Amino acid sequence: MAEEKKSCSFLMAGERKGRIIKDFDLGNSPSDFTVEKVRNKSIVLTTSNGTRALKRCDLVQSVLICSLLNVQAVSECLKFQDPENTIILCAGSDNQPSLEDSVCAGLLIKNLASLRTVPLGEGCEYALSVARRYGSDVHAMLHAAPHGRFLQSIGFGRDLDDCARLNSFKIVPRYRNRVIKAMPCIDDQSWMN
């Protein structure tokens, strides 16, 4: 069985209520995804909240995945898009809005607004106000947020530190046909089609 698993070209990753799913290879912790573990592997991922959010986007032509780690890179890619055709969808936590998603969305909107004129609806205005209040110290915000406190209570406080590294990645994951792939952000937009 162990030998069969070694030759497998994919890994199962996921969590429910913050904990790794029984018999899965990886959880949802950033530290689970080391180069040694994931190199040359496809990853089948399911999470408590993100999977449902992405499923809602199955028919959308181009979905970019944004986090605090890559919000600037996503902003750079979205500056080429028609703002009338841009929707920001936050996954939330347990079917509720989450502070960390609102801050991330607000930072994304702030960045986009600095690059071009962006029409703002009520949700965008709310996210901007939350980002103004909490976005200057995302580390403290993540640790104080309800979901952050929950993760700390089950031993995943280090994950919050990993996720607080604002704009540390220039990678922009794209979701299409139920597959997530890292895509380049280039001026001619051909990769968006």
- Res 6: pLDDT: 56
pLDDT at 2 over 50: no
Give the rounded percent of residues in the chain with a pLDDT score beyond 70: 91
pLDDT at 3 over 60: no
* Residue 153 domain-assigned (yes or no): yes
* Residue 21 domain-assigned (yes or no): no
Helix, coil or strand: residue 5: helix
Tokens of 10: 């994919």
- Res 186: pLDDT: 58
Q: Which domain holds residue 140?
A: 67-169
Please tell me the total count of domains within the chain: 1
Of 93, 67, 81, nearest to 119 by C-alpha is 81
When computed from its CA atoms, the radius of gyration of the chain, rounded to whole angstroms, is: 17
Alpha carbon dihedral 162, 163, 164, 167, in 10-degree steps, equals 110
Distance CA 90, CA 105 (A): 7
- Res 10: pLDDT: 93
* Residue 74 domain-assigned (yes or no): yes
Q: Is 150 left (phi over 0), alpha (psi -120 to 50) or beta?
A: alpha
Tokens of 81: 């898009």
* Residue 39 domain-assigned (yes or no): no
* Residue 41 domain-assigned (yes or no): no
pLDDT per position as a tens digit, 51-107: 999 999 999 888 999 999 999 999 999 888 877 788 899 999 988 999 999 999 999
- Res 185: pLDDT: 66
Q: Note the helical H segments in 12-98.
A: 35-38, 50-55, 71-78
Q: What secondary structure letter does DSSP report for 191?
A: G
The answer to whether residues 186 and 174 touch, using CB atoms and an 8 Å cutoff, is no
* Residue 164 domain-assigned (yes or no): yes
Cα 41 from chain centroid (whole Å)? 20
Distance CA 108, CA 70 (A): 10
* Residue 129 domain-assigned (yes or no): yes
* Residue 143 domain-assigned (yes or no): yes
CATH number at residue 83: 3.90.1560.10
pLDDT per position as a tens digit, 31-41: 999 999 999 99
